[in-house]
A = this chain, B = another copy of it.
Amino acid sequence: MNEIKIFSPASIANLSCGYDVLGVCLDGVGDELTVRKTKTKKLVITKISGHKLSKDISQNVAGVSALTLLNNTSVDCGFEIEIKKGIKPGSGIGSSAASSAGSVFAINQLIGTPFSNKELIKFALQGEKAVCKSAPADNVAAVLMGGFTLVREENDIIKLNSPTGLAFTVLHPQIEVKTSESRALIKKEVSLKKMVKQSANLGAFVSALYTENYELIGRSMQDLIIEPFRSNLIPDFEKLKKSSQDNGSLSFGISGSGPSVFSLARDMSKAKKIGESFEKIYNELNIKFDVHTSYVNNLGIKIIESK
């Protein structure tokens, strides 16, 4: 194999009760990366379309992660990377994770898959850390493993069961919220009482994924700790939440560190209806926005073609 084209999807991190822990992989929206072997032993990003980003290997997350991978294996060739950004940087649905996971996934395929997707997480994470030092692994884990993932520790990641049919609606208000700024909003201390409630919800949510108990999924997807601070960053957050509930969602919350928000529904028709209700609300505001709907992507990154 000399060339591979892949689809590296968007993802939701900080999923409600799982701040820095829970991630989920989306479908439909994502980056496309084309990577080809070159004779010259060099790593270059030849083209980036869709959004403006640096092509400098040390400045681009896909470059940083790829370089980390290559420093941990021995290959006789170089690689050219083309990136078609489908996810806007700073949207809160794992834009950097898609690129940094995508490049290591593609190169791993081209060199005969010496690493499992799970093993690639540590390389992809280095890309993430180039943007934000304290970046947790919840986005890259979800993208590389697919489905719902739980980060117990950076190097101990668990793929959870993913009940069928679940569909997400994501609203991305095109306002800038930097991850570092959004993190600064959060208090460094939590009351023990809230900790108990939040962790009970996380435990209940994990149980509900295995028993495919949709009502319990809905009840347990609550964020008492982070949402109160960050929801102010998102225009009409409460209106969106109410509209999501009124349209039968299982849960509603902030995606990553915002500004995107998500709604989770039992099926795609509900998710689409919720999306329409979000559009109605945001059409009243003077803010550009996108709405995506997506089933849970239980596979993660997909190969589009290879030759």
Interface residues of A (CB under 8 A from B): 17-22, 150-153, 156, 158, 160-161, 186-193, 195-196, 198-207, 210, 216, 219-220, 225
Contact = CB atoms under 8 A, between A and B. Distances in A.
Contacts of A195: 190, 195, 198-199, 225
Nearest to A210: B210
Nearest to A152: B204
A200 B161 contact: no
A151 B200 contact: yes
Contacts of A203: 18, 21-22, 150, 152, 158, 202-203, 205-206
Given A21-B200, A199-B202, A200-B151, A192 B189 contact: yes
A279 B204 CA distance: 37
A196 B19 contact: yes
Given A186-B192, A189-B189, A190-B189, A199 B18 contact: yes
Q: Count copies of this chain in the complex.
A: 2
Given A158-B216, A216-B158, A150 B200 contact: yes
Given A21-B203, A196-B21, A199-B195, A219 B156 contact: yes
Contacts of A225: 192, 195
B18 A158 contact: no
A303 B204 CA distance: 30
Contacts of A187: 192
Contacts of A199: 17-18, 21, 195, 198-199, 202
A19 B188 CA distance: 20
B153 A200 contact: yes
Among A188, A201, A207, A225, max chain B CB count under 10 A is at A207
A19 B195 CA distance: 10
Contacts of A198: 195, 199
A100 B188 CA distance: 39
Given A189-B190, A190-B192, A207 B204 contact: no
A204 B160 CA distance: 9
